[in-house]
Structure 1
Amino acid sequence: MSTQMQLAREGKITDVMRQVAAEEQIEAEVLRDRVARGTVAIPANIHHTNLKARGVGEGLRIKVNANIGTSSTYPDIEPELEKLDEAVRCGADAVMDLSTGSNIDVSRQKIIEHSPIMVGTVPLYQATVRAIREHGAVVEMTEEDILQTIEKQAKDGADFMTLHCGVTREAIERMRRQGRIMDIVSRGGSFIAGWMLHNERENPLYEHYDDILDICEKYDVTISLGDGMRPGCTADATDRGQLTELITLGELVDRAWRRGVQVMVEGPGHVPYDQIEANMKLEKRICRNAPFYVLGPLVTDVAPGYDHITAAIGGTLAAVSGADFLCYVTPAEHLALPTIEDVHTGVITSRIAAHAADLVRGIPGAREWDRRMAEARKQLDWEAQLSLAIDPELAETKRGARNKKGEEACSMCGDYCAVKIISKYFDKPVCPCDD
């Protein structure tokens, strides 16, 4: 079985490529060339049979991911399936199953079976849970535990996997010598760093990268190279640990492409606004324009409860500057497991950031959407305005709560609606003799 990248390099346009090209309103041959070069990835595991594939990368619409999954505190999978449905309904392009509850295999299998959009996983989460249950501690995890987990999740149909292959001993030591406030905030990064420091060994994900490529090639799993050294506060952004990991990830991109395995690169979490553009350009340069997947970035640390907004501020600039895939941040970030309402808010907020960037990047259909809304507002066509809204239900609720049914203007302006007033003058036919 060949990967999408391998087939693209052979000059073949697959059904998956045609599907993505049609959605993106671009020529299939253009897409094939980008997949062949690696600047576009199409995460589409051969065992995810009900998937409507999406492309991520050069010249494509910015994609949005929603994180879901069970925890040891909330192990029931049914609420997570409801969150999946809500994420799909709100327009998410992917979900990541971050389950750490009591039956991770069942959770993942149900999510993949239920999901028409891309599903990502973090195998290290399951491998560490398994190590604790079977060996009594994370640091007793074996290479076999990790590789078996990756193989199992690939066989189940995971479309992309976050793998923290770039957390090397060199990166950790450089981070420690420079000093950080938050050290390592990536859960997967902390697991593997703790294992490395305890066992005084190199990262097994790095050492067994060729074995991982074997698995991903077999099932056409897209590797999402995790940013285990990402900054957890703005003061730690763009430091030596983060950049050392990024250089390693660039080398791992090359190795994956040589095998015909699709790859994305994950980017930083907390970054001051004035450093975001530089971070995006560094990634694109070092990783040869591989698709870039970012969490946020969050532009300040002081807004718990509003971090969907801090992430949208950073995400917009990140996407304008080169990022291709935004992982949503919900109002519950840093506080709690998100509710279904948090999922709704997180997806919509990230989609707003993504669309704002699509406008700047000239993505087909983006400006047309805004223009249709402007024309509907000019005509005071409320039915069209509500249908064009990125969150039609919320818009309709707000409209209905403070306006009489059938009211032409809105209760903000009432009789003094600027659009209505000026239309009396601007919409008059112009006399030819006025020229």
Structure 2
Amino acid sequence: MITADARATALDLADFVTASPSSFHAVAEAARRLEAAGFTRLDEREDWTAVDGDRYVVRDGSIIAWHLPQGAGADTPLRIVGSHTDSPALKLKPLPRLGAEGFAQVGVEIYGGPLLNSWLDRELRLAGRLVLRDGREVLVETGPVLRVPQLAVHLDRQVNSEGLKLDPQRHLQPVLGLGDIDPMQVLAEAAGVAADDVLATDVLTVPAQEPALFGADEEFLASPRLDNLVSVHAEVEALIAVARAEQAGPAPIAVMVANDHEEVGSATRSGAGGPFLEDVLVRMHAALGGDDASLRRVFAQSLVVSADAGHAAHPNYLERHDPVARPRLGGGPMLKINAQQRYATDAVGAAAFLAACESVEVPVQRFVSNNAMPCGSTIGPITATRLGMTTVDVGITLLSMHSAREMCATVDPELLQRACRAVLSGAGA
């Protein structure tokens, strides 16, 4: 039975996804929600004389926000929930103007590891940021302007028996229109700026179809970018809830971080492999009167929960999963465990997350890979390596992960949000 709260959370997630066609838009939407809840933005380029209360910082397509409880000081531990803002896609090349046989096309390259076939025969938009001649950054999103048409079965008679084979250079360049059309002009018009003023872009293609509930009892949510906007949405709303419900007694400093570029390795200035989170924590701690030694003591007693989507057992491909650990849609968030430390979960972190979830009656599943299948990774091991904090990898279950349109259970986003709130509030500690 889907509760009213679960349905409302799923629909609010759908609104969040719709407002977040790129990592830059996701940060803008997160900031909008945080500011509506009373959070104040800090600028990295300025001195931080006050970090009390509710604050946030933006770096490109990444955002960090925190709630400093009353009485917090240089010895107060941290509870951090982390996620990522980016998703696999086709990214606009710097010289995108193409054409053949009377078609205007757009040059793209592969961003991350998308299921390429899912981008075929689907109306696509363009979204991201433009950097203008005067240094301003402008968010941009178009309507449905692109499509990657698949070759007809009459011209590829073996496609259904031998499988679809796509050359990412030759077969994935979207059609924009007929004649000679400049993609940069399309972007400039959508952003309300002059094309000559656009010096550089960070723009990707995104599916035009909006999220939707479906199923016999609307028990599923179909949506682009669930990996990993479901976690970004959960941690934003959880942090707001913690900030609004100031608790009596000692409480940890609650922090959320949403990094960009996880899908391409995180090794950027705004990715988890970069210094963003550590920069913010060091400056916050200094403003609270701490030094490097006290900061390391705080790190040693703090917890990071890396929240990223994971695989549900697929009913048509059961042989691809572990024979015992088979997470299901609707079963709540899962602990992600890997002997090769592709996930950062250890027994200490797992126990902390389980205790937090037990305190709010959220069920927890376990995920391990089939031994014959390679295992992905997350920001968890990277964050643990950079900061030395106890770190645990978790996430809701998906089917069709890295498709242009993924699916989850309608109840799971609300369960993840409750788990994140419990973690940030220090429950189970």
**What TM-score do you get using the length of structure 2 for normalisation?**
0.24
Specify which structure has the bigger relative contact order, considering alpha-carbon pairs within 8 angstroms and separated by 6 or more residues: 2
**Which structure shows the higher helix fraction?**
1
Max radius of gyration: which structure? 1
